[in-house]
A = this chain, B = another copy of it.
Amino acid sequence: MAGFRYHLKRLAPAVSKNPVKRAMEEGAEAMDFKEVVENRRAVNYFDTQRDISEDQLKQMVEIAAKAPSSFNLQPWNLIVLRDHQDKLRLQKHAWDQPKVSEAPVTMIVLADMDGWQPGHPVMEKDFAELVKIGMLQESQREWFENGCKNLYGTSDARKVAFACKNAGFFGMNLMLAAKSLGFDSHPMDGFDIDGVKEAFSIPDNYWVPMLLAVGYFRKDKTLLPPKWRKSYEELLVRFD
């Protein structure tokens, strides 16, 4: 990370309910966004001697939870594993990757395919809030429910797309929030989704879009150079 400037600042101690403000009040390093993006790397080796405190973890998750979502439905949850035996149990279904148990915290990110359904507590809370702030009227409940159903509920593909796109927002924010607090992470796809769901009794309404190991990079290891990315010209397409 040589060559990057960290903007350190420490503010007077205080306790704010806002996780972003609290992190800064508590003296978290303020790190420029572009540096966070640049410094976030998928790290294969974690220092098994360095833990992440419960308060640090909470800050990370609460910052990440600021991600937007379809109609604010926030169709994501987390299983947070700290116990070594739990992590080994997960590792067995994750191609036996050592980082699953070497990281102090390993998360199973869950994407709720039913997050748009009428009666879902988050959906109900969202609707109530939209009525409260005057954006919708109680009489528009059917219109709102049908809108969600037509967008997210008319096929399995749409349910998966809804859940995984939004969980992708949250997952990206988790990785960046980790880096902004000085942690390293590694997102993993290499796992048996059915095995993981069975091992942790995860209900059918959840897809498991990723595992995320979080901790500190092992200093005796060397990071490979960043992988290539598509250029702007490669990213932009037009078919009409």
Contacts and interface: CB of A to CB of B under 8 A. Distances in A.
A203 B35 CA distance: 36
A161 B207 contact: yes
A209 B161 contact: yes
Given A157-B160, A172-B173, A227-B129, A235 B61 contact: yes
Contacts of A50: none
Interface string A138-171: 0000000001000100001100110011111111
A37 interface: yes
Contacts of A170: 172
A131 interface: no
Nearest to A112: B237
A68 B224 contact: no
Contacts of A235: 61, 65, 76-78
A36 B34 CA distance: 10
Tell me the number of copies of this protein: 2
B34 A63 contact: yes
A66 B179 CA distance: 14
A112 to B, nearest CB: 10
B72 A237 contact: no
A180 interface: yes
Contacts of A169: 168, 171-172
Given A72-B227, A78-B235, A165-B165, 15 more contacts: A7-B32, A18-B38, A24-B32, A33-B33, A33-B176, A37-B66, A37-B173, A37-B176, A61-B235, A125-B228, A160-B160, A164-B168, A168-B168, A169-B172, A201-B240
9 contacts: A30-B32, A40-B66, A65-B230, A66-B229, A68-B175, A129-B227, A169-B171, A199-B240, A203-B239
Interface of A: 7, 18, 20-21, 23-24, 28, 30-38, 40, 42, 58, 61-63, 65-68, 70-72, 74, 76-80, 110-111, 122, 125-126, 129, 133, 135, 147, 151, 156-157, 160-161, 164-173, 175-177, 179-180, 187, 189-190, 199-203, 207, 209-210, 224-225, 227-232, 235-240
